[in-house]
Chain A
Amino acid sequence: MIKEQVMDERKKQKSFIDQIKGKKKIQKSSIGVYKYLVHHSFFEVITNAYPEFYQIIQKQKLEKEFDKSIFKFMQTKAFTPYIWEMPNEYRKFLKKSSYFKKIKFLDDLLYFEYSELFIFMQKESNKKQQIFTMSKKSKLSKYISLHKYKYDVINKTYIKNNDLFILGYFDFKLQEVIYRPLNNLLYSFLKFLNKDESLKVNLRLFLKKNKLPYKEYAKGFELVLEELYHQKVIV
């Protein structure tokens, strides 16, 4: 008791936090209420953001490891004030941790599941666009996902596939997130896009770099780029 009285508030707060985040043993049942509330809130947000991941956790009976990972995450890497960003912090935390090493496709699965949430939360509205032209300087929208997956998490086969290039974007007409596979060439071009050059210059430089004839490829690229422009994938 005497020891408790000399603790200043900094130490009290630190001790309290350590108890509710599972770093120290709970000293009083009333503190346990907070441990429950905090864990519950993290658990809810993470499992809602990663439903497929959590199903796998349940199927493989990894709930204990899951709980441990949540507590460790709560203690070390939960920085954002925005609840919706928390699952992304958890994803990054798992990537650098030793949890769930048995699940080889974990990185891909979490990236895929989070990308949908991320695309939903965009600030772009469905503004009218100018007419598409290859001479326009363009860049990839901040609100898309362009990713090379090692495993087929999209179709939930989880089979290793080294050529899975997936574009995710919000379709304003359908009001939903669309995922579509790209070929390596288009994926590489979109990654190559330099916002300071026109699409035409970008395409010339890209094809030259890949030793591909401009005349043969230009028309095909133009068609698909126009479509991606109307889908606000390139802006």
Chain B
Amino acid sequence: MKSIKGCGLGLRTEFLSDIHFDNKSFSPDWWEVTPENWINMPIWYRDKFDEIAQKTPFVAHGVSLSLGSNKKPKKKYLKELKNFLDTYNIKYYSEHISYSSYDNIQAHELLPVPLTKKMIDLMSDNIKYVEDFLGRNISIENATYYHAEKSKLCESDFINELLHKSGAKLLLDVNNVYVNSINHSYNAKKFIESLDLDKVSYIHTAGHYFDDTVQMLIDSHGTKVNNETWDLLEYTLNKIDVSPMIERDNNIPTLKVIEKEYKQMKKIYDKRASHG
């Protein structure tokens, strides 16, 4: 991931018609794409997607591999995924520390894995299986969780051991850290310090909101990035030299609106870079 410089944005179909390649138009340093959304896409998006792929580097971030599942990812899907990554020359692929299917039945939601040694073994096996198939070292993201089973291992120990055992890199989502820190009452900065930061490949930021009904912060990816998350990003970027990006999956605004947030992120990133 070190070879990708600058800041990224999640590519959404809503942005496509506003992406142009003249000097006046905005383009991030790189786009993050979710393969599940682009392996099959409405036909009128394909030409534009191909054009963007030729002009701007892509990083891929998956949502359905279900690395914490009792079953290995299906070969049919892995073949389609590999073909997609190869076609668009995407070197970097990431997934989540979670599971989204059980006995091959999908939940289409990132579910929290039990923080146990057995789960570290199982996920490490699944990660290696995926890496062998894709021919790529992958990154795994710390996910949000709204429910936590009692466990002997704390989350950061679990993540560090999983990174060590599997050899995967860490996609550090600072918004997820913030949301979890509030929902489960811990110190976000101390949590980040406790992670093996040498293993971080890149950083996610996103928006969240407080849900009155469940009395929790919800990692919605549907609002602008909150000040607390910007602060945590800045804090993290002062410790490690990696690229950040913004995820926005719901209530997608115009590219113009996202551009403003991108510039805010870029400012934080450049400030860090100038120190370095």
A residues apposed to B, CB below 8 Å: 4-5, 8-10, 12-14, 16-17, 20-21, 28-34, 36-38, 41-42, 45, 74-84, 86, 120-125, 170, 175
A interface footprint on B44-72 (CB within 8 Å = 1, 0 otherwise): 10110000000000000000110010100
Known: A13-B113, A78-B105, A125-B47. 11 other contacts (CB 8 A): A4-B149, A13-B99, A13-B111, A34-B109, A34-B146, A34-B147, A41-B108, A74-B105, A77-B105, A82-B36, A86-B106
How far apart are A24's CB and chain B's nearest CB, in angstroms? Answer: 13
- Report chain A residues within 8 Å CB of B99: 13
Q: Which of B16-24, B114-122, B132-140, B171-179 binds A?
A: B114-122
- Report chain B residues within 8 Å CB of A120: 42-43
- Report chain B residues within 8 Å CB of A36: 214
Assess the B109–A75 pair: CB atoms within 8 A: no
- Report chain A residues within 8 Å CB of B40: 82, 84, 121, 123
- Report chain A residues within 8 Å CB of B39: 82
Assess the A30–B146 pair: CB atoms within 8 A: yes
Instruction: Determine the residue in chain B with the shortest Cβ distance to A42.
Output: B108
Tell me whether A86 and B216 are in contact in the complex, defined as CB-CB below 8 angstroms, given that A120-B42, A124-B43 are known contacts: no
How far apart are B98's CB and chain A's nearest CB, in angstroms? Answer: 11
Selected A-B contacts with CB under 8 Å, 14 pairs: A9-B113, A13-B113, A20-B107, A30-B147, A30-B148, A37-B109, A41-B108, A45-B108, A81-B65, A81-B101, A82-B40, A83-B108, A84-B40, A124-B43
- Report chain B residues within 8 Å CB of A124: 43
Contact of A13 among B44, B114, B216 (CB under 8 A): B114
Contact of B105 among A9, A37, A75, A121 (CB under 8 A): A75
Tell me whether A28 and B108 are in contact in the complex, defined as CB-CB below 8 angstroms, given that A33-B214, A81-B77, A121-B40 are known contacts: no
Closest 9 A/B residue pairs (Cβ): A30-B147, A81-B64, A9-B114, A33-B146, A120-B42, A17-B102, A78-B106, A121-B40, A38-B109
Say yes or no: is B41 at the interface (Cβ < 8 Å to chain A): yes
Q: A194 to B109, alpha carbons, bound, how many Å?
A: 43
Q: A122 to B40, alpha carbons, bound, how many Å?
A: 7
Interface size class of B (residues with CB under 8 A): 35 or more
Tell me whether A170 and B43 are in contact in the complex, defined as CB-CB below 8 angstroms, given that A28-B147, A81-B77 are known contacts: yes
How far apart are A17's CB and chain B's nearest CB, in angstroms? Answer: 5
A interface footprint on B240-271 (CB within 8 Å = 1, 0 otherwise): 00000000000000000000000000000000
Say yes or no: is B194 at the interface (Cβ < 8 Å to chain A): no
How far apart are A74's CB and chain B's nearest CB, in angstroms? Answer: 7
Q: A13 to B113, alpha carbons, bound, how many Å?
A: 8
Q: How many A-B residue pairs have CB under 8 A?
A: 102
Say yes or no: is B187 at the interface (Cβ < 8 Å to chain A): no
Q: A120 to B42, alpha carbons, bound, how many Å?
A: 5
Instruction: Determine the residue in chain A with the shortest Cβ distance to B104.
Output: A79
Instruction: Determine the residue in chain B with the shortest Cβ distance to A36.
Output: B214
- Report chain A residues within 8 Å CB of B149: 4, 12
Assess the A8–B43 pair: CB atoms within 8 A: no
Instruction: Determine the residue in chain B with the shortest Cβ distance to A117.
Output: B42
Contact of B118 among A8, A30, A82, A123 (CB under 8 A): A8
Assess the A76–B105 pair: CB atoms within 8 A: yes
List B66-109 residues whose CB lies under 8 Å from chain A.
68, 70, 74, 77, 99, 101-102, 104-109
Q: A81 to B36, alpha carbons, bound, how many Å?
A: 7
- Report chain B residues within 8 Å CB of A37: 109
Instruction: Determine the residue in chain B with the shortest Cβ distance to A18.
Output: B102
- Report chain A residues within 8 Å CB of B65: 81
How far apart are B182's CB and chain A's nearest CB, in angstroms? Answer: 14
Tell me whether A121 and B102 are in contact in the complex, defined as CB-CB below 8 angstroms, given that A28-B147, A34-B147, A37-B109 are known contacts: no
Instruction: Determine the residue in chain B with the shortest Cβ distance to A9.
Output: B114
Instruction: Determine the residue in chain A with the shortest Cβ distance to B69.
Output: A13
Q: A59 to B216, alpha carbons, bound, how many Å?
A: 35
Q: A4 to B216, alpha carbons, bound, how many Å?
A: 25
Instruction: Determine the residue in chain B with the shortest Cβ distance to A12.
Output: B114
How far apart are B222's CB and chain A's nearest CB, in angstroms? Answer: 12
Q: A34 to B147, alpha carbons, bound, how many Å?
A: 8
- Report chain A residues within 8 Å CB of B68: 13
Assess the B102–A122 pair: CB atoms within 8 A: no
Assess the A79–B114 pair: CB atoms within 8 A: no
Instruction: Determine the residue in chain A with the shortest Cβ distance to B39.
Output: A82
Contact of A83 among B36, B148, B214 (CB under 8 A): B36
Tell me whether A31 and B102 are in contact in the complex, defined as CB-CB below 8 angstroms, given that A41-B108, A81-B77 are known contacts: no
Which of B42, B77, B108, B150 has the most chain A CB atoms closer than 10 A to its own CB? B108
Contact of B107 among A10, A38, A84 (CB under 8 A): A38
- Report chain A residues within 8 Å CB of B44: 175
